[in-house]
């Protein structure tokens, strides 16, 4: 990893004041009450980054309803609550930036993670509609950035595999790389950033090719069942925990 700009050892010279809060973004009451605490303790928010995300890790017919609801609430509905909490003041001041951290699986889907894909598609739809609304309101001081990374090596989708011959050309991304790309996009007011850049091409091809051609492309890449090893690992881990706890 390269040396941070300015050097991390220089940060204390600025004497930054950091505030942390615990908030369940899946509960709108928690979001609204936390937003009030932030305004009271810190002041108005200039930039809102919606980054919370969960995955159930089950095939649709094996997934409990409550886990599907949890995925939709955290990955999609929470964007409504956080935006409603902070956007009014941004509109009043005509100043602010809203960042939606979505996923490449919000642009094109794959098998086995229907709830996750649906939630990310929903988050992107919300982001795009809100972008149009802000443009229509002629608030040129408020910017929107959509972040759509490929598989990030955080362990969230541990076991996910594409075709082994393709993997060297499309490996999981490091969190540091994704953050760097997202920060560059935010600082330059870029409306959308996909990492790696091939995601732009895949998304474009999806928009112009017939569905069967997309299926063939997925199968060539090994992307059609790339989540199956991940789902199998999650199921095995769950069965082991149940056996261990005597369930």
| pLDDT > 80? residue 3 | no
Active site residue 228: no
Alpha-carbon separation of residue 118 from 5, 109, 121, 142, 232 (angstroms): 38, 9, 5, 27, 21
Which pLDDT does position 1 carry in this prediction? 35
The secondary structure of residue 11, as a DSSP letter, is G
Residue-wise pLDDT tens digits, 142-200? 999 999 999 999 989 999 999 999 988 899 999 999 999 999 999 999 999 999 999 99
pTM of the model: 0.88
* Domains in the chain: boundaries: 21-152+172-205
How much is the pLDDT for 10?
Answer: 53
Using DSSP, state whether 192 is helix, strand or coil: strand
Task: Assess if CATH 3.40.50.720 describes domain 21-152+172-205.
Answer: yes
Question: What is the per-residue pLDDT across 59-71, written as a single tens digit (0 to 9) for each?
Answer: 999 999 999 999 9
The pLDDT of residue 5: 44
**What is the DSSP secondary structure assignment for residue 179, as one 8-state letter?**
H
Among the options 32, 116, 200, 218, which is catalytic?
A: 116
């Amino acid at each position: 990893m390269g040396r941070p700009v300015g050097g991390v050892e220089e940060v204390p010279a600025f004497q930054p004041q950091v505030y942390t809060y615990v908030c369940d973004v899946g509960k709108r009451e928690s979001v609204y009450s936390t937003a009030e605490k932030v305004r009271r303790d810190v002041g108005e928010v200039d930039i809102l980054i919606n980054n919370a995300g969960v995955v159930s890790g089950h095939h649709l017919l094996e997934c409990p309803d409550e886990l599907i609801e949890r995925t939709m609430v955290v990955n999609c509905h929470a964007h409504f609550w956080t935006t409603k909490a902070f956007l009014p003041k941004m509109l009043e001041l005509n100043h602010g930036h809203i960042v939606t951290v979505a996923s490449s699986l919000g642009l094109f889907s794959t098998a086995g993670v229907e709830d996750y894909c649906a939630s990310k598609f929903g988050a992107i739809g919300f982001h795009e509609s809100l972008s149009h609304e802000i443009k229509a309101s002629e608030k040129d001081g408020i910017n929107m950035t959509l972040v759509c990374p490929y598989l990030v090596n955080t362990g969230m989708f541990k076991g996910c595999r594409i075709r082994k011959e393709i993997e060297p050309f499309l490996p999981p991304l490091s969190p540091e790389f994704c953050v760097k790309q997202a920060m560059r996009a935010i600082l330059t007011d870029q409306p959308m950033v996909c990492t790696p850049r091939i995601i732009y091409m895949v998304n474009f091809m999806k928009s112009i090719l017939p569905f069967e051609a997309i299926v063939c492309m997925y199968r060539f890449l090994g992307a059609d069942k790339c989540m199956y090893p991940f789902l199998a690992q999650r199921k095995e881990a769950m069965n082991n925990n149940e056996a261990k706890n005597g369930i």
